[in-house]
Amino acid sequence: MELGVTDHTASVETEPQGGDRPPGAPLLELRDVRVVFRQGGLRVVAVDGLSYTVSAGRTLALIGESGSGKTVSSRAVLGLLPPTATVSGSIRFDGKELVGISERQMRRYRGASVAMVFQDPTRSLNPTMRIGAQITEAIRVHQKVDGKAAKARAIELLKLVRLPAAEQRFVEYPHQLSGGMRQRVVIAIALAANPKLLIADEATTALDVTTQAQIMELLRDLQHKLGMAMVMISHDLGLAASFADEVVVMYAGRAVEQAPTRTLFANVRMPYTKALLDAIPRVERPPHQPLPVVPGRPPDLAALPAGCPFAPRCPSARDLCRESAPPFGEGEPGHRWACWYPCGSDGAAPS
Amino acid sequence: MAAQLPEADAQVPSIALAPAGAELERPRRGWLRQLDVLVPGTIIAFLLFLFFVWPIIGPVGKPTGGNILNANIQPWSPGHIFGTDPVGNDIWSRILYGGRNSIEIAFSVQFIGLVLGGAVGAIAAYWGGVVDMVLMRVLDVLIAFPALVLALAIAESLGPSKSHTILALCFFSVPAFARISRAATLRLRERPFMLAARLSGTGTGRILLRHITPNVLPQLVTFALLGMGVIIILEGALSFFGLGVPPPNPSWGNMIFEGQGILSAEPRLVLVPSAFLFITVLSFNLLGDALRSRWSSV
Amino acid sequence: MTGSPALRLIGKRLATAIPVLWGVTFLTFVVINRLPTDAAQQLLGVNATQQQIEELRQKLNLDEPLFSRYFSWLGDVLSGNLGRSFASDQTVTSILSERLPVTLELLAYALIVSLLFTVPVAVLAARRPNGIVDRITMTLSMLGLSMANYVLALILVYIFAVQLEWLPAIGYVNPSDGIWPFIKSLTLPAISIGFPLFCFYTRLLRADILEQMQGEDYVVTAAAKGAGPWRVLMRHALPNSLFGLLTVVGLNIGTLIGVTVIIESIFALPGIGGALLEAINNRDILVVQGIVLVLAVVVVAANLITDLLYAVLDPRIRYGRTAS
């Protein structure tokens, strides 16, 4: 399937880039992770049985709409959820179980083993603290270094993220930088303690397209250089195509399709994923045609219907779909999905 | 009017400062959760009944015109639960009538403040430009003006009375409400639904009425409730200088003032009105706080 | 480039302050003149003859029209002369220099003490929301807020001055007559004012800190770095919350001055409030004007300083935008 998706690498290629690198050791393993929020009598299952594995040097894309559970599941890894949330299941980093460990132990992982980059760089940075201080803080929380060494490392990091005039930026405040530059600073902060895994939560959503491309490219380069694993959270399947090795599509807190990138795009099964793919604007499409958009809205997690959560919006939904939820199973080697009537197989499939 | 209580019930922080997996205890039943409104609300309702209804239907003596022969009767005596004051008036009835006066005054002041101040602030914010600047300067003058001077002046020239006290206290409340209303309207003005209303040609008056008022009103009402305590206390303070409710009519303020001199000998003359003052103010504060934490997320 | 947004702010504020000062003083003038009796009648008392009153009026220039009196007063003020009291013939300036410091000292004492306690208590409460410290703090502060400061004053006097005899009930001691007695004489009044303030400020700061901690992304970023909860609170949330507190304190100064008048009266402190009341009773217009002017200046100055502090402390204002 020719995608013609804009690729963000320096070279001109039109194929998804993932899948070429050999997998390293599994770094992050989620197994049947559930996150339940309880507040004032309300009970919301934000993440329902999510499992995936990320290895060193590889990128996993977590794709979904808002409310799909992608952000919550990632915050659960670092224990950054409010006390109203209960996490169950298994989250292993480098073989060590993270669910249920104490706050103090968790802090040792944050930044040093797993780091996060958030969506809005304007809000992610402390407005009254100098940029240099925010970076050195990230360093000194984990290492006993003196001010000078920390400053040197911070400037090194700023240069690593390709921030021009690093020494000057070191003493400046966030509002003195543009959006793209701020996001680079956020990335520098994330890298400060040499994490092995980087979680980029909609890291480029708040940026304009050009800056988005630059930042994604930067992330990819850093990953190559540092051998980091990366979890890329987004709603943009096109972005996943260009940068991810494996894709997990989430809906209503569950994984609904999971496969290596090439496999997914070549052989999409779940109608939801297909709908997302169809919605990507493409150059070859005839002009002035309305974009095929998924009708309806994401479900209310506090009141999920019985059966497949996507059934109300699915073009190929049938009675079975509304009655019972399809299991998430490995239909083909390396390719999992949750659908009674997946595309391209028995039964009527949409074009 | 300084004492706007900040939110007591701020939500729990979103990062796990508690051990991971800890759950929050929250009462499940409907009415238990409403306790923060029900308790102060009930107390206020009871107090209102006590001050406004009970003297009419119950055995309450007169608050004034006491017989000097009855002076300084001790509490728990027949007919005088709290005893009498040095002039022979029954303290219990003075408390009740004084409470009525205090609440009447405070309610009037807050009501006028809400309507007048709220309107002025909203208009200033909505129209912006010169209107805003002029109105704001006027408000600044009122705020910088030592209202005590005004209160004194009014009392001196017009004579102290309940309505004059209300007038003097409005100089506190109207600018305060105007400030709040203006800030709230400014925030509202930039919201998309406001722009939509203006673009669709909705007239200004209609916008003010249908769009701004319902959104600003909850804030103003909670502010009014929270301010009741302040005004009641202020009215008491004015009485200190003989500017509030004129004696022999009782007000908690002038009762406290009168009792000040013989604090050591007869502390109850100060303590009883102080206790009622405290409970009343506390109840209004609690109610206002509870309502504010409910409506703030709206 | 730096500092110029701050300067522009000061300039703007000064420009709006002038009409306010003018408005306040003019309003006062009008109000005092509307009072039933005038200075001449007050000074001479009830037994004065009409002729004596007229003579005194002429001498005090009270027979001239209002506007001309106001403008000549304005002129005098601008050249530094605030006039003399009708009652005591003391210059207004000397009255001010005698009485104003007492009030300012009391205010400063009350503010400093209350703020000194506010920050640590609010921080401790915010550290574990709905925890023991938090619940106790919130309850006590709610109770403290609901207390009238004059009632608190009377209770304090009863306990500490009458029963325990630790502190004086009334009276003011000049600092030149001994620092310690000076502080003691102001302590009970300062607590009467400062305690409700402390309750109010603590709730405010705590709410602000929690707002930062729960709602702001930079707090999550800080936590994601591995920073401990204390560090996140003190180094990130607190500095940003102090702004809110600063604004309120600054805006409050105006109403605070009104409050001190009552307390001054209870404790018989020779402050500006008492002077004002006396002057109004005597229809001593020039004294009233002088005091009101000074008070208005204090209020305006407080607002200005608040804005200035903001400009200095908030790097967004201090440095403006220099980014590409």
Chain A residues with CB inside 8 Å of C319's CB? Answer: 172-173, 175-176
CA distance B276 to chain C (A): 11
ipTM over 0.90: no
Those residues whose C-beta lies under 8 Å from the C-beta of residue C96, and which sit 6 or more positions away, are: C82, C272, C290, C291, C294
Q: Do B12 and A103 make contact, defined as CB atoms within 8 angstroms?
A: no
Could you write out the DSSP letters of every residue in B170-197? HHHHHHHHHHHHHHHHHHHHTSHHHHHH
| A102 touches C at CB < 8 Å | no
pTM of the model: 0.83
Q: Do A81 and B24 make contact, defined as CB atoms within 8 angstroms?
A: no
Provide Rg for chain B, Cα atoms: 23
As a whole number of angstroms, the distance between CA B103 and CA B122 comes to: 27
As a whole number of angstroms, the distance between CA B43 and CA B41 comes to: 5
| A81 touches B at CB < 8 Å | yes
Residue of C268, C260, C263 lying closest to C298 (CA atoms): C260
Q: At what angle do helices C285-313 and C4-34 cross, to 10 degrees?
A: 160
Residue C63 has pLDDT above 60, yes or no: yes
A107 vs C226, C236, C240: nearest CB: C226
Q: Do B20 and A40 make contact, defined as CB atoms within 8 angstroms?
A: no
What integer is the mean pLDDT of B105-122?
A: 92
Give the chains touching B; criterion: ≥3 Cβ pairs < 8 Å: A, C
As a whole number of angstroms, the distance between CA C267 and CA C293 comes to: 25
Those residues whose C-beta lies under 8 Å from the C-beta of residue C139, and which sit 6 or more positions away, are: none
C218 vs A107, A124, A192: nearest CB: A124
Chain B residues with CB inside 8 Å of C211's CB? Answer: 10
Quickly list H helices, chain B: 30-33, 35-48, 54-57, 91-112, 118-127, 129-144, 147-158, 162-189, 192-199, 204-206, 213-240, 252-260, 268-295
Provide Rg for chain C, Cα atoms: 24
- CA end-to-end span of chain A, whole Å? 13
| B200 touches A at CB < 8 Å | no
Name which of C141, C151, C266 to mutate to probe chain B: the one with the most chain B Cβ atoms within 10 A of its Cβ: C151
Answer whether A13's CB lies under 8 Å from A220's CB. no
Q: Residue type for A183, please?
A: Q
| A173 touches C at CB < 8 Å | yes
* Residues 120-159 (A) with a CB less than 8 A from some CB of C: 120, 123-130, 137-138, 141-142
DSSP at B168: H
Sheet holding A246-251, edge to edge: A114-117, A197-201, A229-234, A59-63, A246-251, A254-260, A335-337, A329-332
Q: Do C158 and B256 make contact, defined as CB atoms within 8 angstroms?
A: no
Phi, psi at A233, each rounded to 5°: -100, 130
Residue B268 has pLDDT above 60, yes or no: yes
**What sign results for the dihedral spanned by CA atoms C287, C292, C298, C301?**
negative
B26 vs A40, A99, A102: nearest CB: A40
Q: Do C280 and B156 make contact, defined as CB atoms within 8 angstroms?
A: yes
Q: What is the pLDDT of residue A13?
A: 35
Assign A115 to helix, strand or coil: strand
Residue B297 has pLDDT above 60, yes or no: no
Residue of C260, C217, C222, C285 lying closest to C102 (CA atoms): C260
Answer whether A261's CB lies under 8 Å from A244's CB. yes
| A108 touches B at CB < 8 Å | no
A103 vs B19, B26, B33: nearest CB: B19
Per-residue b or e along C45-74, where b marks 16 or more CB atoms closer than 10 Å to that residue's CB: eeebeeeebeebbeebebeeeeeebbeebe
Q: Do A125 and C221 make contact, defined as CB atoms within 8 angstroms?
A: yes
As a whole number of angstroms, the distance between CA B122 and CA B216 comes to: 9
Sheet holding A42-55, edge to edge: A42-55, A26-39, A85-93, A96-97
Phi, psi at C319, each rounded to 5°: -100, -15
Chain C residues with CB inside 8 Å of A172's CB? Answer: 319, 322
A176 vs C221, C228, C319: nearest CB: C319
Q: At what angle do helices C217-224 and C179-215 cross, to 10 degrees?
A: 90
As a whole number of angstroms, the distance between CA A212 and CA B18 comes to: 36
Name which of C18, C22, C154, C225 to mutate to probe chain B: the one with the most chain B Cβ atoms within 10 A of its Cβ: C154
Residue B176 has pLDDT above 70, yes or no: yes
Q: What is the pLDDT of residue A223?
A: 87
Quickly list H helices, chain A: 70-78, 103-109, 121-124, 131-140, 147-160, 166-170, 179-191, 209-226, 237-243, 261-266, 271-278, 319-323
B288: nearest CA in chain C?
C142
Q: Give pLDDT tens digits along chain A (351 positions).
A: 333 333 333 333 333 444 444 455 788 999 999 999 987 778 888 898 899 999 988 999 999 887 788 889 989 999 888 888 899 999 999 888 998 888 889 998 898 889 999 888 888 999 888 999 999 999 998 888 888 999 999 999 999 888 888 888 899 899 888 888 999 999 999 999 889 999 999 888 888 888 888 888 888 888 888 888 999 998 888 888 888 999 999 988 888 889 998 888 888 888 888 888 887 777 777 778 777 777 778 788 777 778 888 888 888 888 888 888 888 888 788 888 888 888 775 433 333
Q: Do A103 and B26 make contact, defined as CB atoms within 8 angstroms?
A: no
Q: Do B23 and A83 make contact, defined as CB atoms within 8 angstroms?
A: yes
Answer whether B228's CB lies under 8 Å from B107's CB. yes
B22 vs A80, A83, A99: nearest CB: A83
The H-or-E segment that residue A230 falls in is strand A229-234
A75: nearest CA in chain C?
C224
DSSP at A286: P
| A176 touches C at CB < 8 Å | yes
Answer whether A289's CB lies under 8 Å from A268's CB. no
A177 vs C231, C236, C323: nearest CB: C323
Q: In Å, how far are A2, A241, A262, C115 from A266, measured between CA atoms?
A: 9, 11, 6, 66
* Residues 21-80 (B) with a CB less than 8 A from some CB of A: 21-24, 26, 28, 33
As a whole number of angstroms, the distance between CA A195 and CA A186 comes to: 14
| A40 touches B at CB < 8 Å | yes
Banded model confidence at residue C68, pLDDT cuts 50, 70, 90: confident
Name which of C26, C255, C256 to mutate to probe chain B: the one with the most chain B Cβ atoms within 10 A of its Cβ: C255
Assign A255 to helix, strand or coil: strand
Q: What does the block give as tokens for B185? A: 């309207």
Answer whether A81's CB lies under 8 Å from A35's CB. yes
DSSP at C163: I
As a whole number of angstroms, the distance between CA B135 and CA B123 comes to: 9
Q: Do B24 and A102 make contact, defined as CB atoms within 8 angstroms?
A: no
Q: Do B26 and A86 make contact, defined as CB atoms within 8 angstroms?
A: no
Q: What is the pLDDT of residue A346?
A: 46
Q: What is the pLDDT of residue A8?
A: 38
Answer whether A350's CB lies under 8 Å from A343's CB. yes
| A105 touches B at CB < 8 Å | no
Q: Do B20 and A41 make contact, defined as CB atoms within 8 angstroms?
A: no
Assign A199 to helix, strand or coil: strand
Q: What is the pLDDT of residue B17?
A: 33
Q: What does the block give as tokens for B127? A: 């129209």
As a whole number of angstroms, the distance between CA C246 and CA C239 comes to: 11
Note if the bond before B248 is cis, omega within 30 degrees: yes
Residue A313 CB neighbours (<10 A)? 17
Q: What is the pLDDT of residue B29?
A: 57
Assign A201 to helix, strand or coil: strand
Phi, psi at A208, each rounded to 5°: -75, 165
What integer is the mean pLDDT of C48-67?
A: 76
- Pick from A58-67, B59-68, C136-145: least confident: B59-68
Residue A126 CB neighbours (<10 A)? 25
Residue B175 has pLDDT above 50, yes or no: yes
| A36 touches B at CB < 8 Å | no
Burial of B54: CB neighbours in 10 Å, binned 0-12, 13-18, 19+: middle
As a whole number of angstroms, the distance between CA A290 and CA B290 comes to: 50
C216: nearest CA in chain A?
A123
Q: Residue type for C199, please?
A: C
Answer whether C25's CB lies under 8 Å from C293's CB. yes
* Residues 165-194 (B) with a CB less than 8 A from some CB of A: none
Half-sphere exposure of A142 (CA within 13 A, CB side): 26
Chain A residues with CB inside 8 Å of C321's CB? Answer: 175-176
As a whole number of angstroms, the distance between CA C74 and CA C26 comes to: 9
Q: What is the pLDDT of residue C3?
A: 55
Residue B285 has pLDDT above 60, yes or no: yes
